[in-house]
Amino acid sequence: MSRFETEILASDENVQALADLCGRWISEANRRSKTKKLILDMDSSESQTHGRQEGSAWNGHFECTCYHPLFCFNQFGDLERAMLREGNVHSADNWRAVLEPVVARYRECLLNRYFRGDAAFAQPKIYEYLEGERFLYAVRLPINDVLQREIEHLTTRPVGRPSHKSRFSITASCIRPRVGGGPGEWWPRSNGIMMSCSRASASL
């Protein structure tokens, strides 16, 4: 079995076919689906290794020796695409190689498109790519002094028990007004801040 994996599955052609396999299954399922929106969720994780595994490395964030794979899921929890990476790469490393084939698969579909990611994906190149593909997105901002100073008055809890209407938590997202859009229409952007409210019981 190990010889089969090394000699057959590890060839460039077969590795690519395996990477595309999840997407082919999902495409077949989507042909029978009536969903009107697409939400892509990209995140990395750790896969711990033991011994001298090729490509494994110490990752200070996870505090272990591991691989650092990158995943892209849809809103139903289906794995759209994945990439196995060395253990010490940045969380968003090689994001384009994972995201582009997924976006291309849905490009001709009449869907509302959304993307969400953590602070590792708060990069101008990712924003520009998503905007070019007509995706709305929610990307967590890395904590920084400027952001904290600008929203401090919104995150300070007032004295006393909050009323039912004010039981909200504040979150920050990057946006800019949508060019040519009507009132209330927005496109995400990295150089603006919108304060949006969500119930305190919800977590982002």
pLDDT in tens, 73-85: 999 899 999 998 9
pLDDT given at position 147? 81
Q: Where are the domains of the chain?
A: 34-140, 141-204
pLDDT at residue 170 tops 50: no
pLDDT at residue 184 tops 50: no
Q: How confident is the model at residue 31 (pLDDT cuts 50, 70, 90)?
A: confident
Mean pLDDT of the 159-168 span: 58
For 88, list phi and psi in degrees, rounded to 5. Answer: -110, 20
Mean pLDDT of the 169-190 span: 43
The counts of H helices and E strands in the chain are 5, 12
pLDDT at residue 200 tops 70: no
Taking the C-alpha atoms of residue 148 and residue 113, their distance in angstroms, rounded to an integer, is: 30
pLDDT at residue 10 tops 50: yes
Residue with token string 């595994």: 53
The CA-based diameter of the chain, rounded to the nearest angstrom, is 68
pLDDT at residue 195 tops 70: no
pLDDT at residue 45 tops 90: yes
pLDDT given at position 175? 42
pLDDT given at position 163? 61
Q: How confident is the model at residue 14 (pLDDT cuts 50, 70, 90)?
A: confident
pLDDT given at position 82? 92
Residue with token string 């994906």: 121
Which CATH number applies to 34-140: 3.30.420, 1.10.3470, 3.40.50, 3.30.70? 3.30.420
pLDDT at residue 134 tops 90: yes
Tell me: the pLDDT tens digits for 84-113? 899 999 999 999 999 999 999 998 888 899
For 60, list phi and psi in degrees, rounded to 5. Answer: -65, -30
Taking the C-alpha atoms of residue 123 and residue 165, their distance in angstroms, rounded to an integer, is: 35
